[in-house]
Structure 1
Amino acid sequence: MRILVAGGTGVIGSRVVPLLTAAGHDVIATSRSADRLLPALAAGAERAVMDARDAASVDSAVDSARPDAIIHLLTDLATEDFVGNSHLRIVGTRNLVAAAERAGVTRMVAESIAWVGEPDAEPGDESVTFARDPDTDESLFPAVESLENAVLSLENGVVLRMGMLYGRGTWFGRGGRIHDRAEEGTVVATVRHTSFVHVDDAALAVVKALDWPSGIVNIVDDDPVDAEEWAPELVWAAGGDETRLAVRATGRASTNARAAELGWVPEHPTWRDGPFDLV
């Protein structure tokens, strides 16, 4: 296939692009910066400079690429700008879906997040109700819901609800924001009830999802855990000492039975094996 990877230079996209080219696909990777696309070129992909917030830019990239499928991995979290990232989820997704519809592209695989369910200590499946509790970040969940609804409006839209990403290049990896704070003993957990997924496993799920039926699939490991348990392990792995834990929201962990039915089995079934694969 010809596959447009929107966000082909991010922590997942930079892994997905070489997996796709190695499998024989024609890949077009996008970024707002041409320089950031050099690794994608080295992996055998074409490059397209695209600003997802600009509808004309998205239309031009999709029209030029003539893709059979689009992979949506757009994020804006380099500076922890959660409001900007939420804006990108809404506007960027709307522009990408509209361009796909105009170009006759019906297949899209999009990255979402797994901790969207109403707070509960029991891990949930893909049918969980979106959180409406004041314990949640008001700017986060409406944007995620908007992204998911837009992608699922396509005939072959697949939404991957990713767990907390860890591994090289993530915030949990060495040099990442969460890791650096953990070195000093401080952990700020997004949610108390947590599901993780190794970033390499997440990338493999994206590639597999090109053949999956439309719908939502949780991409998480086999080991949901409470922040009070994983935070001290992260601090220890990062070389810190006493743990000072703050939790933003209760949240909810997720199950991965649906992904297993579709043939995705994580090579890192638990975050404990690393722990957190910091190198």
Structure 2
Amino acid sequence: MSETLKHSEDRSASSMSGTLKHSEDRSESSMSGTLKHSEDRSAASMSGTLKHSEDRRAASMSGTLTHSEDRSAASVSGTVKHSADRSVASMSGTFKDSEDRSAASMSGTLKHSEDRSAASISGTLKHSGDSSAASMSGTLKHREDRSAASMSGTLKHSEHRSAASTSGRLIHSEDRGAAATSGTLIHSEDRSATSMSGTLKHSVDRSAASMSGILKHSEDRSAASMSGTLKHTENRSAASMSGTLKQREDRSAASMSGTLKHSEDRSAASMSGTLSIVRTGALHL
């Protein structure tokens, strides 16, 4: 898995490479990667481990993000639990910054409708410094033939009540071997837009999946994206983990998100959250 991202403003490039290793019994997967910026050659390393419980109803995720310049580290950990009938999944996690020891907690619930055609997601992100909260809600709908899924949602911040809307479409090819996703995020205040596109390809035996994407901001066109996917296919249950690293001009912000999907009964439960912490202690979404 490798990817190169170029900035249109200064033509600087960021390269990403990573390795995915599976344990013998498929119960553990480790992921490591390196992100390098061409301008100052500074690098950030990311590593993580995904472990499954015996009955596949719980999965724990932990990881560390380290920046080479100041050796500051941020740790992320979380747990996803499924109900007995797979209709409800809860997710909770904590993001800690080693520099100022500030923490942000995330919790949410994913519920499936009776016929599995729709799923609703809601969650809350709280920052320990100022106790400000951001709420997220959305709906995921599947078509009858499962070939397309549309998602829409709203993100609100408790401090200034500004809202951002997101919409996207996931289209599966006929043989389920490839899936393309695209979406647009529009901020209500300045109407600036961020577009995201990517492609997900499955190998023939469904044992591996690669994902690449580009995130562009309409204002200054500066962006950095990093993503990876882990999949387990022993009993048709899949678990995916992805992370995104964004560096602002002052190198003070980093965002990370994770997604866990189970697909044993052809129903997928996915939840993702993104948080950015700047060194002043403020939370940006």
- TM > 0.5 fold call: no
More strand by share: 2
More helix by share: 1
Could you state the TM-score of these two structures normalised by the residue count of structure 2? Answer: 0.26
Could you state the TM-score of these two structures normalised by the residue count of structure 1? Answer: 0.27
Choose between structure 1 and 2 for higher RCO, CA contacts under 8 A separated by at least 6 residues.
1
